[in-house]
Amino acid sequence: MGWNNWNTFACDVSEKLLLETSKLLGDYGLKDLGYQYVVLDDCWSVGRGDDGYLIPDTAKFPRGMGAVADELHKEGFLFGMYSSAGEMTCARYAGSLDYEVQDAESFASWGVDYLKYDNCYHMGRMGTPLISFNRYNEMAKALKKTGRAILYSLCSWGEDYVHTWGGSIANSWRVSGDIYDSFARPDDLCACNNAADPACVAPGTHCSVLAIINKVAPYIDRGLPGAWNDLDMLEVGLGGMTEEEYKAHFSMWAALKSPLLLGNDLRAMDATTLSIVNNPAIIALSQDPRGRAAMRIARNLTVPKDEHGVGEAQVWSGPLANGDQVVIFLNAADEDLDMSASLAELFVLQGPGGSAAEAKRDWAVRDLWGSISSSGSGGGGGGGGGARMGRADAQAVLDATSEAERGAVLRRANWYNATEKPYAEGLAEGDARLLGERVGTVKAGGRLEARVGRHAAKVFRLQSAAGGGGKADAGSTGGDDDGSIGKDEL
């Protein structure tokens, strides 16, 4: 979790931008929710010296990269940098191909904690999994040789079946071409929607949220603790999507265990954006100690389509720590939908055909976006069940003129602090701020139902009503007699 400058600033980078952003990550309580990496993307060098080592741009970074890392480390952040496994980076600066040892030494000496390693200008060294593996493995070996722990993030755009070999050498791997600020619009620059299509040779740069989700669905299970499918950086707050689309985007990235790297300008962030990216109940899906992504269990293409011919509905489900289950109803249709799934479907990963023991239990249902909370009123901040931060509180955090004033708002809202209580500990304790708002019960053999808005998602945490899962509060049970939870309750 952290922030990367590219989606908003591209090459307009500097020491000042990184340090100002890191301060706001701290001030707004985002560092204490887990946003700890500050990642500098492309355009930071002026080429190589006669000795073959990269030279930072002193106009942008007058004190050098080591000084930036020192400042970030002093404030409790981790420092990320960028290069490409090519002769040039994507912005046509010096790349690291055939200079892996020198560049790894530089990164280590500067105190770098994270390397994003791109795929531009690779001089034709791709086309089979082995060729791409060998090219990226050179940097993996060079980083390891330095002796410094550096998170290695491959950005090969899903080429050459990286999901089959990325986990052998890296901590994450990009699954698609670059994301852009659209929920579902198709674009010829992102033509690869089918990971198994041998004609898929142009991953592209205009991939919508839905296109990326559909690309990774067939192999989402390849992500495991320490080695993750990377769905690319977050677009929340950039302005191209609706609030509901951004909530769905953020929720899916968290549940699918993609790295959560903010891409917006924190200096111009609004309250709506803050109240999306600081939802601890959603972040707890990302940071769940079991470390397994939700998987798609149903996909309906016979729904109303938009003007681009796009429209579908999906159901995702997966196990969480403490016996809980995440369920997401994702509506990418062109109108509101009534969506539902039986417990037999929701627990198909634990046993097909309704054979899973979980399908024969009663489950408490908790909405991870819940109702809007306000200071002192329970809801997301208090002990009455987690919910999204109210806009008034979010605006108060943004408007505060001092660290003490912001801290007072966060304390008044009783907002979650993962620095003080890691997510694994909070989930084990049943901390209400991580569990969402209790909205009902699905009885054994029943169905979960919800009305889901156009281009929106409903995100639920199911907990065993008998206490076999994570601890739940004693909220309303609300289940219908037929074992379903009615859509009017959601």
The catalytic residues are: 118, 178
What the block records as the tokens of 373 is 């909370």
- Strand spans (E) along 234-294: 261-262
- From the list 410, 158, 398, 424, the residue with the least C-alpha distance to 273 is 398
Distances (CA, A) of 294 to 206, 255, 297, 346, 400: 25, 6, 9, 11, 37
- d(C-alpha 480, C-alpha 490), whole Å: 12
What the block records as the tokens of 12 is 């307009």
The answer to whether the CB of 393 falls within 8 A of the CB of 290 is: no
Cα dihedral 12, 13, 19, 22 sign: positive
Distances (CA, A) of 327 to 33, 383, 407: 22, 23, 33
Q: Using CB atoms within 10 Å of the CB of residue 473, give its burial: 0 to 12 exposed, 13 to 18 middle, 19+ buried.
A: middle
- d(C-alpha 60, C-alpha 44), whole Å: 7
Torsion of Cα atoms, 199 then 204 then 209 then 210, to 10°: -20
Q: How many CB atoms lie within 10 A of CB 2?
A: 25
Distances (CA, A) of 21 to 13, 114, 133, 337: 11, 17, 34, 39
- d(C-alpha 86, C-alpha 444), whole Å: 55
What the block records as the tokens of 418 is 């993962």
Bridge pairing between strands 363-367 and 456-464 = antiparallel
Q: In what order do the strands lie in the sheet with 228-230?
A: 228-230, 172-174, 151-154, 114-118, 78-84, 37-39, 2-4, 261-262
- The helix-helix angle for 129-146 and 100-110 (nearest 10°) equals 40
The answer to whether the CB of 245 falls within 8 A of the CB of 183 is: yes
The answer to whether the CB of 102 falls within 8 A of the CB of 139 is: no
- d(C-alpha 169, C-alpha 293), whole Å: 20
> Strand, coil or helix: what is 152?
strand
The answer to whether the CB of 458 falls within 8 A of the CB of 450 is: yes
